[in-house]
Amino acid sequence: MIAHSDTNYVHEPIRLRDNSDRTARGNVSDGALIAAIARGDQQAMRRLYERHSLRVYRFARRLGADHSAAEDLVSEVFLDVWRSAGAFEGRAQVSTWLIGDYCVTRG
């Protein structure tokens, strides 16, 4: 099951080069998270998963995947993110990139 919890993780700071990668509310931007993931930052991966896993899951369900298949696809998409974060070029929003990966994974 897709779980979101603020208490399950050791909260370590995500390594940013400077504060320009923060949103107006002080959150780390998705692009900065992807860059940190490309450097092997597991906390950044957790944050990105917490932000976007439900969106990918709901997208899969809207396209007809049952609960179990949708969860499997979410896992596959985020495994692909971990493996290929360095390939993200920033030409689209991260959420669009994730959904595009879902479509390729499902294809």
When pLDDT is cut at 50, 70 and 90, the band that residue 9 belongs to is very low
Looking up tokens 């930052």, which residue turns up?
41
pLDDT at 36: 97
pTM: 0.73
pLDDT at 14: 53
Question: Nearest-CA neighbor of 30 among 80, 92, 77?
Answer: 92
More confident residue, 85 or 13: 85
Least confident piece of the model among 12-21, 29-38, 57-66: 12-21
| Residues near 23 by beta carbon (within 8 Å), at least 6 away in sequence | 29
